[in-house]
């Protein structure tokens, strides 16, 4: 179609639908002053003339709100599909003569992308490309020997090699060696947006390290095994970002029952095979470097857990109310007591989007639930809905009459109590809610 002003909005659309000037590039304008451009709102179906709460709207429930989806548009962000963004940097060699360069393998990258894609999650791993942004992924960064979780040294990389404009949308990941272990942890404040992954060079000089990684962690000393192990470690840490933590399932971060058991099933005690060995997931340390998948719970409770049904990208939803201690793991009765405290803790005020000027309306909520039925915006979960009604129109004249919130129902996750602002709407003269977007299976909610 003709586009005389080269703003990527067709002439007919500008004249007949948007009411914009088809001879002037107004793609970057923001006529409703809601921090989102004309082009983006048109592309994704929002009204460019009506103010929307894009600072809090999160229809795909990935805790990346629309303002951030807009900022990440150059990286193919989709506000209606869950996204994971990770920048990956590589630590330089400790001993240039003996150590080969740190490498993040393309096969590992593709395996991660494809695994998430199978569950309708788009994963973007920035490992660098020609003409990439300054401080983008794939940088070779200085070697630091002490980089444990409790050292706090990851902050040096976060401050100096991770661009500020990505903080809040990208997770910073550092791949290095010869440290042992990995972690997903805050660098600043209490937002879990940094990952460190240890690596073992695959070369004749590091045979001892390869053997230790094989016997101790199950990483096969083959080209294929190295790539699987690398992807498995990152999938494990991203699982923590997705709420898979030991507070909700005891099998997460479960240590190997004995030396060699991670590499050889025959060395697993029979009792372990019949219990935690049933939890075949990268979240179980015994399998972290032997596979590239979360568990689907097929072995049943109490020793297996459906990771995928409980995986929720809520890490950007707010500051975590607790900070985990490095290397502190609990099991058995102590774990059960700790879990009950976490589940009982009321953190809804922290995790609910700001809805100043609104009150929860039980009647509207029930009528909306009857209208929407069992439909869910996420294929992995059933969901709960809340409708909040504006009561302070005089203070917030630009706000819409209702805000509709959504939350995963009955998931066992760090973000089990997290609510997302899904959609807004206004009442028409007959009392129906005219929704501000058409991504629900209907455009109005009949309340009469």
Could you tell me how many helices (H) and strands (E) the chain has, helices first?
12, 12
What is the pLDDT, as a whole number, of residue 310?
A: 96
Which of these three, 309, 344, 379, is where a domain ends?
344
- Other C-beta atoms closer than 10 Å to the C-beta of 325 total 9
- Separation between Cα atoms, residue 320 and residue 318, nearest integer Å: 6
Tell whether 10 and 117 lie within a shared domain.
Answer: no
182 lies in some domain? yes
What is the pLDDT, as a whole number, of residue 332?
A: 53
**91 has pLDDT over 80:** yes
Q: What is the pLDDT of residues 172-228, one digit of tens each?
A: 999 987 556 688 888 887 788 999 998 876 666 667 777 777 877 778 888 899 899
Tell whether 206 and 292 lie within a shared domain.
Answer: yes
DSSP letter for each residue of 92-121: PPSSTTTPPPP---HHHHHHHHHHHHTTTE
**448 has pLDDT over 50:** no
- Separation between Cα atoms, residue 203 and residue 221, nearest integer Å: 10
26 lies in some domain? yes
Tell whether 304 and 412 lie within a shared domain.
Answer: no
Q: What is the pLDDT of residues 251-294, one digit of tens each?
A: 999 888 887 877 778 888 899 899 999 999 999 999 999 999 99
**Which of 295-299, 396-400, 415-419 tops mean pLDDT?**
295-299
What is the pLDDT, as a whole number, of residue 205?
A: 65
**446 has pLDDT over 70:** no
Distance from CA of residue 340 to its chain's centroid? 25
**Which of 125-139, 246-260, 276-290, 424-438 tops mean pLDDT?**
276-290
Pairing verdict, β 82-91 and 121-126: parallel
Q: What is the mean pLDDT of residues 236-259?
A: 90
Tell whether 191 and 320 lie within a shared domain.
Answer: yes
Tell whether 336 and 360 lie within a shared domain.
Answer: no
Helix, strand, coil % in the chain, rounded to nearest 5: 25, 15, 60
Which of these three, 10, 25, 58, is where a domain ends?
58
Min mean pLDDT across 116-130, 193-207, 272-286, 406-420 is at 193-207
What is the pLDDT, as a whole number, of residue 129?
A: 85
To the nearest 10°, report the CA torsion of 176, 179, 184, 185. -110
Tell whether 260 and 297 lie within a shared domain.
Answer: yes
Which residue, 357, 425, 355, is CA-closest to 395? Answer: 357
Q: Tell me how far CA of residue 152 lies from CA of 198, 233, 234, 319, 418, in angstroms.
A: 16, 20, 20, 18, 28
350 lies in some domain? no
417 lies in some domain? yes
**119 has pLDDT over 60:** yes
Tell whether 10 and 114 lie within a shared domain.
Answer: no
- Separation between Cα atoms, residue 314 and residue 336, nearest integer Å: 24
What is the pLDDT, as a whole number, of residue 364?
A: 94
Tell whether 314 and 398 lie within a shared domain.
Answer: no
Domain count, the chain: 3
**135 has pLDDT over 60:** yes
**Percentage, residues of the chain above pLDDT 70:** 87
Which of these three, 297, 321, 344, is where a domain ends?
344
What is the pLDDT, as a whole number, of residue 179?
A: 55
Tell whether 375 and 272 lie within a shared domain.
Answer: no
Tell whether 26 and 169 lie within a shared domain.
Answer: no
Q: What is the pLDDT of residues 28-72, one digit of tens each?
A: 999 999 999 999 999 999 999 999 999 999 999 999 999 999 999
- Separation between Cα atoms, residue 245 and residue 192, nearest integer Å: 12
**345 has pLDDT over 50:** no
**349 has pLDDT over 50:** no
**327 has pLDDT over 70:** no
**Which of 103-117, 189-203, 431-445 tops mean pLDDT?**
103-117
- Separation between Cα atoms, residue 234 and residue 184, nearest integer Å: 9
The per-residue pLDDT of the chain, averaged, comes to: 86
What is the pLDDT, as a whole number, of residue 296?
A: 96
Q: What is the pLDDT of residues 350-360, one digit of tens each?
A: 345 667 889 99
What is the pLDDT, as a whole number, of residue 232?
A: 96
Domain region containing 29: 1-43+52-58
Q: What is the mean pLDDT of residues 65-84?
A: 95
What is the pLDDT, as a whole number, of residue 182?
A: 82
Tell whether 360 and 396 lie within a shared domain.
Answer: yes
281 lies in some domain? yes
349 lies in some domain? no
Tell whether 80 and 146 lie within a shared domain.
Answer: yes
């Amino acid at each position: 179609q003709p586009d005389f002003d080269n703003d990527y909005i067709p002439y007919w659309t500008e004249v007949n639908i948007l009411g914009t000037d088809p001879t002037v590039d107004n793609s970057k304008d923001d006529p409703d002053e809601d921090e989102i451009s004309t082009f983006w709102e048109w592309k994704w179906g929002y009204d460019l003339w009506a103010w929307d709460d894009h600072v809090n709207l999160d229809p795909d429930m990935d805790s990346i709100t629309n303002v951030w989806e807009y900022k990440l548009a150059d990286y193919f962000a989709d506000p209606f599909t869950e996204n994971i963004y990770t920048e990956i940097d590589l630590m330089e060699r400790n001993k240039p003569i003996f150590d080969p360069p740190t490498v993040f393998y393309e096969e590992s990258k593709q395996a991660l992308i494809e695994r998430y894609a199978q569950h309708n999650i788009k994963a973007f791993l920035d490992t660098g490309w020609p003409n990439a942004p300054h401080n983008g992924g794939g940088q070779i960064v200085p070697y630091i020997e002490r980089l444990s979780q409790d050292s706090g040294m990851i902050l040096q990389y976060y401050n100096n090699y991770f661009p500020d404009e990505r903080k809040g949308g990208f997770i910073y990941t550092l791949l290095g060696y010869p440290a042992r272990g990995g972690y997903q942890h805050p660098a600043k404040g209490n937002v879990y947006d940094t990952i460190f992954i240890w690596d073992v060079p695959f070369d004749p000089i590091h045979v001892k390290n390869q053997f230790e990684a094989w016997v101790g962690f199950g990483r096969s000393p083959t080209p294929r095994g190295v790539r699987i192990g690398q992807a498995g470690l990152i999938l494990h840490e991203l699982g923590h970002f997705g709420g898979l933590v030991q507070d909700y399932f005891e099998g997460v971060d479960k240590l190997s029952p004995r030396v060699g058991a991670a590499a050889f099933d025959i060395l697993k005690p029979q009792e372990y095979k019949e219990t935690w060995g049933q939890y075949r997931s990268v979240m179980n340390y015994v399998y972290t470097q032997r596979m590239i998948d979360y568990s689907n719970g097929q072995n049943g409770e109490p020793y297996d857990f459906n990771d995928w049904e409980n995986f929720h990208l809520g890490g950007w939803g707010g500051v975590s109310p607790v900070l985990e201690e490095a290397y502190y793991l609990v099991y058995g009765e102590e774990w059960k007591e700790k879990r009950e405290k976490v589940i009982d803790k009321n953190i809804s005020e922290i995790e609910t989007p700001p809805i100043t000027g609104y009150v929860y309306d039980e009647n509207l909520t029930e009528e909306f639930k009857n209208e929407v039925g069992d439909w869910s915006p996420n294929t992995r979960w059933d969901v709960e809905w809340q409708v909040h009604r504006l009561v302070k129109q005089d203070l917030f004249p630009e706000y819409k009459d209702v805000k509709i919130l959504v939350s995963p129902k009955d998931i066992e996750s760090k973000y089990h109590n997290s609510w997302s602002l899904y959609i807004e709407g206004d009442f028409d003269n007959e009392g129906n809610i005219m929704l501000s977007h058409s991504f629900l299976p209907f455009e109005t909610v009949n309340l009469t």
